[in-house]
Chains A and B, each alone.
Chain A
Amino acid sequence: MGTCKKTVFCVLLISLICLTGCNTDSKEIDERTIIVGMGIDKNEEGQFIVSIQVPVIVSGGQQGGEEGLVSEFETLSSTHNTVWEAIANLEAQTPTILFFGQLKSIMIGERLAKEGIEQVMDVLDRRAPLSNDVLLLVVREKGEVREFLKNETQLVNLPALYIDRFFTAEQKLSRTDDVKLFEYRRDRNMISNAATIPLAFYDINTVIEDMAVFKNGKMEGELIGKEAGISGLLKERKMENINYTVTIEGEGRSLEASIRANMDLSYSFTETNPVKIHLEATGKGELVHLETHKDRASEETIDELHKKLEENIKKDIDNTITKMKGINVEPWLIGHRIWSKNYAYFETLNWNETGWKDAQIDVNVNVEMEQTGQRILPEKIKLGR
């Protein structure tokens, strides 16, 4: 069969080479418009405004001209009744095909978020080139999404990359948290149908803080400042590096102390109707600032700090829970935990209608001071002269 094999091999090899030439997907990099950021919003007429951010390869200014005056990205926008048609219009504005494989972040306008993002999510879910770990962000209504995309920052050249860098660096500010496309989808599918997405706006600088709260795909509320950190604690059952500044009485006057705490949380519930939920928050604190060096972190001061810190954390947890009960959204998987442990009991609670609102939650906070300083120990007492 030797000759026959050789003939077949040659014929097939030629056919294969021809096939690769006919491949419509064979696009060189200069034939692709690489999209790194995408913004989606709605206008007052209810149409979708889709904006894309495209990096432009530039030399950094013409020879002899001023350096750095050339923008390194271009933002294009299009408006249409559907997201997909708006994207098609954008393609008409570019000389090459749109490539979503490098998309880093998707910015959703607050107006669209309040009307509901299910329609947008469906397009994003079905398109395979778009990775499921794309970051999501809600842009506050005070600025338009396309304007947010256009804003240059001195720190990172492309706004879309700024967001990616911000979350990749895992800034431990406990004021916001990254949410990827698959994480949003996962949380939205949980028993409470609630999820969160970080909020952002542009005001001289790009500011990413607070969390938008969604139920059934619609933005129903916000978690602001520390509430976002507390929300992380309630959901992930741990929170790192949350800062508290408390005022205590010491040495005959008021002292201001700053503490950094790492917290863990455990849940239990009693099967009553309404359900009684017990939250046990335990953590370790570190004293990072005590007004002046002269003020000593004595045992009494530390005790006082414990109490104040525990009170403050408890108050914040209570406030955050009350806020979410107010809009009847439970984004922390509490209902899901009950559902997975005792389905029959969960069914009696009518969780999404009244069960969460009526739930009786008691919070117990216990913080232990672990350190009073990392580099210096000002508590030492000098002996002698």
Chain B
Amino acid sequence: MDPISQETNNGKGELITFTYSSTITLGLIFLPYISETEIRSAWLKVVLAVFPYFLLMYLINKVIKKHGEQDILGLFKQKSYKIFYYPVVLYLLFGTFYASLTGTKSLSIIVQTYLLQDTDQAVIIVAFLLVAFLGLLYGIRTITRMLVLSFLLEVAIVFSLSFIILSEDFRWINLAPVFSTDILTFGRSILSDMSRYGGVVTLLAFLPYVNKSVNIFKATSLGLLLVMYSYFVVCFTALGIFGFEQAMNFLSPATALIQATSARTGILERMDLFFLSIWIMSFYKIALIHFWFGTFLMNRIIKVKPKREWIHVCIFVALIAAISLSTPSLINFSWEPFNLNTLFYSLVVPMILVSYLLIRSKKGAGTGGDM
């Protein structure tokens, strides 16, 4: 099994923070509506869509308890054949790359729209990737510290949005009807929304760095609950304040909400821009997590010595930069294949993987593992 770094001292707090940060940003920026076709009750969808991920966390916890090992990918390598292991890791790498690429492109649109209207998207992407690259060189320990640093601030902002329900602008009538489609359409819609929680797949790489005494299921569930509540609040308040037709057209409903409800006084005339700068920090966090996950997977395919890990970082970031800069902006981007792929790589594949590990006995390694 691959030697895991000695930095396995991350506790419960770090695990909750990592779970929250790994998935919140993209979901929030494009909340409540991310597809071309939408239904009114996005707030209900995000609540229901989290349950399969609870199940995944439960199964991961069972696997860890059964095999006494927190490195799920390492365990899979040990218990299966190369012919299965490498395609799975390669697919996870592809999914992470696709998500990272979409995230980078989305960031450039958000920044250009709200902050730097006259700046070329290429400049925004290069500046963003350079800083992220630097962060990656310092490894997961530094990244985790950064996540913990801004976690409380981010949660406080999202939770403060809950009070919008009490404002005069919030109209309960905008929420009705709760069920405006048939069950099949509603179900399909939930499937597309599950991709919002897709970032938690990165936990597969983070869990080996968590202290063995931590209850994985409890901590990750709490992180997921926080994410779910954050999504719910933004969806619910955006619908109540703006109505369905307006909310579904916003590039960033969370920013629009803060614009519409914040008091405009004194120095903080444009509070929304202040909040936006916090979202930019969130973009860095999610980018660092996903880029790091990507390099982790690359290391599982082509193993390098710790002091040579920067080569993977360079390759991953350079590829993101090259493709981001050479492809057109995300205008009329088709979210459906992206959502389907995210759902598959973040839920279906890990679910199959952990189910397989659950049915495998504790002892008796597969014949293909090259330990």
A101 lies within 8 A of chain B by Cβ = yes
B260 near A132: Cβ-Cβ < 8 Å: yes
What number of A-B contacts does a CB cutoff of 8 Å give? Answer: 77
Query: Contact partner of B259 among A9, A131, A185, A336, CB < 8 A?
Result: A131
B242 lies within 8 A of chain A by Cβ = yes
B270 lies within 8 A of chain A by Cβ = yes
B260 near A180: Cβ-Cβ < 8 Å: yes
Within 8 A of B (CB), among A320-338: 333, 336-337
A131 near B173: Cβ-Cβ < 8 Å: no
B123 near A340: Cβ-Cβ < 8 Å: no
Query: Contact partner of B256 among A1, A8, A132, CB < 8 A?
Result: A132
A341 lies within 8 A of chain B by Cβ = yes
- In whole Å, how far is B136's beta carbon from the nearest beta carbon of chain A? 11
Question: A1-B307, A1-B310, A340-B173 in contact; A19/B246 too (CB < 8 A)?
Answer: no
Question: What sequence of 0s and 1s flags, for each residue 112-147 of chain A, a beta carbon within 8 Å of any chain B beta carbon?
Answer: 000000000000000011011100000000000000
B362 lies within 8 A of chain A by Cβ = no
Of all chain A residues, the one with the shortest Cβ separation from B175 is A340
B260 near A182: Cβ-Cβ < 8 Å: yes
Alpha-carbon distance between A122 and B245 when the two chains are bound, in angstroms: 14
With most chain B CB atoms within 10 A of its CB, the pick from A8, A15, A128 is A128
Note all chain B residues with C-beta closer than 8 A to A4: 310
Alpha-carbon distance between A5 and B269 when the two chains are bound, in angstroms: 41
Question: A129-B117, A133-B260 in contact; A23/B131 too (CB < 8 A)?
Answer: no
Note all chain A residues with C-beta closer than 8 A to B118: 24-25
Note all chain B residues with C-beta closer than 8 A to A102: 269-270
B243 near A189: Cβ-Cβ < 8 Å: yes
- In whole Å, how far is A231's beta carbon from the nearest beta carbon of chain B? 16
B177 near A343: Cβ-Cβ < 8 Å: yes
Within 8 A of B (CB), among A77-131: 101-102, 128-129, 131
Query: Contact partner of B130 among A1, A16, A180, CB < 8 A?
Result: A16
B232 lies within 8 A of chain A by Cβ = no
Question: A22-B123, A25-B118, A128-B113 in contact; A186/B243 too (CB < 8 A)?
Answer: yes
Note all chain B residues with C-beta closer than 8 A to A190: 243
Note all chain A residues with C-beta closer than 8 A to B174: 186
- In whole Å, how far is A124's beta carbon from the nearest beta carbon of chain B? 13
Within 8 A of A (CB), among B241-268: 241-246, 251, 256, 259-260, 264
Alpha-carbon distance between A141 and B134 when the two chains are bound, in angstroms: 60
Note all chain A residues with C-beta closer than 8 A to B134: 8-9, 12
Question: What sequence of 0s and 1s flags, for each residue 1-20 of chain A, a beta carbon within 8 Å of any chain B beta carbon?
Answer: 10011001100100110010
A183 lies within 8 A of chain B by Cβ = yes
Question: A12-B134, A16-B130 in contact; A25/B173 too (CB < 8 A)?
Answer: no
A182 near B173: Cβ-Cβ < 8 Å: no
Note all chain B residues with C-beta closer than 8 A to A9: 134
Question: A25-B119, A131-B272, A337-B173 in contact; A186/B242 too (CB < 8 A)?
Answer: yes
- In whole Å, how far is B312's beta carbon from the nearest beta carbon of chain A? 13
- In whole Å, how far is B84's beta carbon from the nearest beta carbon of chain A? 34
Of all chain A residues, the one with the shortest Cβ separation from B168 is A236
Of all chain B residues, the one with the shortest Cβ separation from A168 is B264
A189 near B114: Cβ-Cβ < 8 Å: no
B259 near A132: Cβ-Cβ < 8 Å: yes
Alpha-carbon distance between A19 and B269 when the two chains are bound, in angstroms: 28
Note all chain A residues with C-beta closer than 8 A to B115: 25
B330 lies within 8 A of chain A by Cβ = no
B325 lies within 8 A of chain A by Cβ = no
Within 8 A of B (CB), among A276-306: none
- In whole Å, how far is B206's beta carbon from the nearest beta carbon of chain A? 22
B116 lies within 8 A of chain A by Cβ = yes
Of all chain B residues, the one with the shortest Cβ separation from A341 is B176
Question: What sequence of 0s and 1s flags, for each residue 231-244 of chain B, a beta carbon within 8 Å of any chain A beta carbon?
Answer: 00000000001111
Note all chain B residues with C-beta closer than 8 A to A189: 243-246
Of all chain A residues, the one with the shortest Cβ separation from B265 is A168
Alpha-carbon distance between A190 and B243 when the two chains are bound, in angstroms: 8
- In whole Å, how far is A290's beta carbon from the nearest beta carbon of chain B? 33
Question: A8-B137, A16-B130, A341-B176 in contact; A131/B310 too (CB < 8 A)?
Answer: no
Note all chain A residues with C-beta closer than 8 A to B269: 102
A24 near B119: Cβ-Cβ < 8 Å: yes
- In whole Å, how far is A61's beta carbon from the nearest beta carbon of chain B? 27
Note all chain B residues with C-beta closer than 8 A to A182: 241-242, 246, 256, 260
Alpha-carbon distance between A363 and B163 when the two chains are bound, in angstroms: 34
Of all chain B residues, the one with the shortest Cβ separation from A27 is B118
With most chain B CB atoms within 10 A of its CB, the pick from A24, A101, A132 is A132
Within 8 A of A (CB), among B80-122: 113-119
B117 near A15: Cβ-Cβ < 8 Å: no
- In whole Å, how far is B274's beta carbon from the nearest beta carbon of chain A? 13
- In whole Å, how far is B301's beta carbon from the nearest beta carbon of chain A? 21
A128 near B127: Cβ-Cβ < 8 Å: no
Alpha-carbon distance between A101 and B276 when the two chains are bound, in angstroms: 14
- In whole Å, how far is A222's beta carbon from the nearest beta carbon of chain B? 24
B133 lies within 8 A of chain A by Cβ = yes
Question: What sequence of 0s and 1s flags, for each residue 163-185 of chain A, a beta carbon within 8 Å of any chain B beta carbon?
Answer: 00000000000000000101101
Alpha-carbon distance between A5 and B310 when the two chains are bound, in angstroms: 9
B358 lies within 8 A of chain A by Cβ = no
Question: What sequence of 0s and 1s flags, for each residue 202-223 of chain B, a beta carbon within 8 Å of any chain A beta carbon?
Answer: 0000000000000000000000
A133 near B259: Cβ-Cβ < 8 Å: yes
- In whole Å, how far is A184's beta carbon from the nearest beta carbon of chain B? 10
Question: A8-B137, A19-B127, A25-B115 in contact; A333/B260 too (CB < 8 A)?
Answer: no
- In whole Å, how far is B259's beta carbon from the nearest beta carbon of chain A? 5
Note all chain B residues with C-beta closer than 8 A to A16: 127, 130-131
Of all chain A residues, the one with the shortest Cβ separation from B131 is A16
Note all chain A residues with C-beta closer than 8 A to B242: 182, 185-186
Note all chain B residues with C-beta closer than 8 A to A341: 176
B146 lies within 8 A of chain A by Cβ = no
B270 near A185: Cβ-Cβ < 8 Å: no
With most chain B CB atoms within 10 A of its CB, the pick from A24, A131, A183, A336 is A131
B169 lies within 8 A of chain A by Cβ = yes
Note all chain A residues with C-beta closer than 8 A to B47: none
B260 near A128: Cβ-Cβ < 8 Å: no
Question: A131-B270, A133-B260, A333-B173 in contact; A12/B246 too (CB < 8 A)?
Answer: no
Q: List 15 A-B contacts (CB under 8 A).
A: A12-B133, A15-B130, A16-B127, A16-B130, A16-B131, A19-B126, A22-B123, A128-B114, A131-B264, A131-B270, A133-B259, A133-B264, A185-B246, A189-B244, A189-B245
Q: Add 5 more A-B contacts to A131-B259, A182-B256, A186-B241 (CB < 8 A).
A: A24-B116, A102-B269, A128-B113, A129-B117, A133-B264
- Of all A-B residue pairs in the complex, the 10 with the closest CB atoms, nearest first, are A340-B176, A189-B245, A25-B116, A24-B118, A186-B243, A128-B113, A25-B119, A25-B118, A19-B127, A131-B259
